[in-house]
Amino acid sequence: MTDLLPPDLHSNRTGLTRRRALLASLATMALAPLAACGRKPPRAQAVPAGATVLALGDSLTSGVGASADTAYPAVLQRLTGWTVVNGGVSGDTSTQALARLPGLLQKHNPALVIVSIGGNDFLRRQSSATTRTNVQRICADARASGAQVLLVAVPELSLMAAVGKLSDHALYKEVADELKIPLHSKGWSDVLAQERLRSDQIHANAAGYEQFAQGLVETLKTTGLLAQ
């Protein structure tokens, strides 16, 4: 039928079709970055039973306020079947944990690194920007070693914290989003907000570490790091 159209009309219609195709192509290109920004990070790979997992942190990881066998890494090992290395050092800041990390990675070659650090930075009123940079480097360096990484949010200091209402510091979600790694949120905030789960104002007791580990397991399952 188009052969029956006058040459000039046939040319105009062909040009219109090409312009529409070009505009559609440009629209697709423009929307692609927006779609990528909203895309969820890929699901993690399940860490098999018996694999080595490094729990990096401070006194909340080492288990101050409870015995070694009730610290959260020991409880996590019992719940998962992993070999969980307790890499917690009481009093450590993010700067000190960052300095210790290369030696721990080399020694243990973990399949997964669980990062829970920063509380001592906040207690000592260190710069949040420095803490954020250190936490980001810890996670990035651990991932560069070939390990998967799970970041654990730590409560921020606030007036509400003084009356037992804790909330996670915003930097942890920022780092997790930026690096596209899973985040365990509200674990410590929920435990340390309950007097019955604390040994003092900033440490859990055995029941608190048990509850934290149980919640951590749920996040590990949700993210795919632990097979259900």
The conformation of residue 32, written as its DSSP 8-state character, comes to H
Strands 112-116 and 148-152: parallel
Active site residue 116: no
User: Residue 53 and residue 72: Cα distance in Å, rounded?
Assistant: 13
The question of whether 10 is a catalytic residue gets the answer no
Using DSSP's 3-state secondary structure scheme, residue 193 falls into: coil
As given in the structure block, the two tokens for residue 3 are 């052969």
Are 68 and 99 in contact, with CB atoms under 8 Å apart? no
Q: In what order do the strands lie in the sheet with 183-184?
A: 83-88, 52-57, 112-116, 148-152, 183-184
> Catalytic residue among 10, 11, 158, 200, which?
200
User: Which among 59, 62, 94, 116 is annotated as catalytic?
Assistant: 59
Catalytic residue among 94, 121, 185, 203: 203
* Residue 8 among the catalytic residues: no
Backbone angles phi, psi at 162, to 5 degrees: -65, -20
- For residues 223 and 150, the answer to whether their CB atoms sit within 8 Å is yes
Active site residues: 59, 200, 203
